[in-house]
Structure 1
């Protein structure tokens, strides 16, 4: 009996292992949650600071300062199409580095019409401003289910070529680069996408966006807002049943599947989870604790 219990305790838990070094998302409007994040996360854990409104850069900087003061690693989103010019980018990065000790960013296109001179992540990189301000780790957007804005106009090959260019730039300038994906609801698209990337020379590690526990109604709202692809069909199908709209859905199957891929197919470079707190941080951290205790 003792031998059986020891075996069960030592049995690999793909979901638990996949969540081992998870990261989370916050917005400047939720800076009051930083203390909760500091209590729930390991020292040095990364917290991404989204930027939806270009006028909230000062609040984004303040949120980065609060996170750093709690011993966490602030990772601001830097959306190219929401930046007017190089001087604005330079000032922003000077504040992030000087006031919050930022050494890592998530550089993204932004998905909107450009407000100024930048229209892509590469246009940001070519300024050299990230290196100037000591950015050593560079997150890049990944789209396992495609990016409708780009693929409709230019095709999938353009996305691949852009990733190869960004990967090469990071390597040439001594930055550690990785991919952070949009959230989704199934593991299969991630596996197929990772296979295609590796076949075509993209070697960057992949951190997969996971929708945290939330009601079906809330998940449908965010899926529509963010343009999530085919994997959202099952959530939309559940939403057709009015009695299920307020049911809390958890991503247990998704993290278990991704954890299994991580363990059995290491060549795909599935590195970990990036969690979106759509149902609130209480639900999110409670669910993480539950998965880790199994």
Structure 2
């Protein structure tokens, strides 16, 4: 189990799909905090449906709402009404992938404004943060976007990152830039080798994965080599310890990729 100073709060991200509720009930007991992705191929309605179901079961559900996936202000109003009735208090707001917007929201900031207006400010909103930038936008540009949304948010979550030093340096950069939001460190769970490499290439986290490879020399290097490049799964324990020691983060946001069985073994749950 990954032990770390202060036992940072834990959130586990899942993807809607067949059997996910049963897997959660088996491996992650209530009232765990579970965040639910909003991907283009399943849309916001499936995310909201799952968030309501999990909240009814006793989980602290945090749905992701992607601006480009919302078809209208009326649809958004319906989603928010259902989430409020279920007792959901937090929403992670992103721009979303894909080309053209399905409705009036092309930018997450505009969606945040309408969520606050419609709900009367009852939801705590989260924003995305990018320690390794992303295709088409520099780190400085993305920090400026986060600053522009800061007054609408209550917290931020970093993109998946494999490097403790990179995350710690990024937290310091955000503070220097004027970002005062609590930041959750986005870390991988136990990810299989092939999928890890594929994800790193697709979402632009190559630099921190390269850092992990470079750090494989010296004491403990063999185990890290096996963890990242071997046939088994990546071991996030060294990364988690570095984050906990830094004292810079509000908690851990674990990208589980629906591999829930190792969560309680790897992380301190509860």
1:162 Cα shift?
2.0
Contact 1:67 1:74 in 2 (8 A): yes
* Pick aligned residue for 2:15 from 15, 21, 27: 27
Counterparts of 1:15 and 1:65, CA distance in 2: 32
CA shift, 1:103, in A, is 1.7
Aligned residues: 258
1:93 to 80, 83, 86: 80
Distance 1:213 1:55, change over 3 A: closer
Secondary structure (helix, strand or coil) at the match of 1:224 reads: helix
Q: Does 1:168 align with 2:156?
A: no
Q: Call closer, same or farther: CA 1:148–1:162 in 2, change over 3 Å.
A: same
TM-score by length of 2: 0.83
1:280 to 256, 259, 263: 259
CA contact (8 A) 2:5 2:245 kept: no
Cα gap change, 1:71/1:224 in structure 2, threshold over 3 Å: closer, same or farther? same
Unmatched 5+ residue regions in structure 1? 1-12, 171-176, 263-267
Q: CA deviation at 1:208?
A: 0.8
How far, CA to CA, are the matches of 1:138 and 1:246 in structure 2?
38
Separation in 2 of the partners of 1:71 and 1:217? 34
CA contact (8 A) 2:188 2:256 kept: yes
Of 125, 128, 145 in structure 2, the residue corresponding to residue 141 of structure 1 is: 128
**8 A contact 1:211–1:275 mirrored in 2:** yes
- 1:192 partnered with 2:172: no
Task: Specify the SS of the correspondent of 1:25.
Answer: strand
What does residue range 30-179 of structure 1 map to in structure 2 within 5 Å? 30=18, 32-38=19-25, 40-41=27-28, 43-53=30-40, 55-98=42-85, 100-115=86-101, 116-129=103-116, 132=119, 135-151=122-138, 156-170=139-153, 177-179=154-156
The residue aligned with 1:15 is: 3
Given the superposition, is the C-alpha separation of residues 251 and 279 from structure 1 closer, same or farther in structure 2, using an over 3 Å criterion?
Answer: farther
Which structure has more relative contact order (CA 8 Å, sep 6+)? It is 2
Q: Report the alpha carbon displacement of residue 281 of structure 1 after superposing the two structures with TM.
A: 0.8
Q: Distance in 1 between matches of 2:49 and 2:6?
A: 31
SS of residue matched to 1:77: strand
- Write the mapping of 1:202-241 to structure 2, written as runs, cut at 5 A: 202-233=179-210
Larger radius of gyration between Structure 1 and Structure 2: 1
Structure 2 distance, partners of 1:125, 1:77, is: 12
TM-score, normalising length: structure 1: 0.76
RMSD between aligned residues: 3.0
String of CA shifts for 1:215-248, please: whole Å, max 9, x gaps: 221211222232224102256889x99x945222
1:250 aligns with 2:235: yes
Q: In 1, Cα distance between the equivalents of 2:201 and 2:185? A: 19
> For residues 279 and 106 of structure 1, what CA distance do their matches in structure 2 show?
18
The answer to whether the 8 A contact 1:51-1:77 is kept is: yes
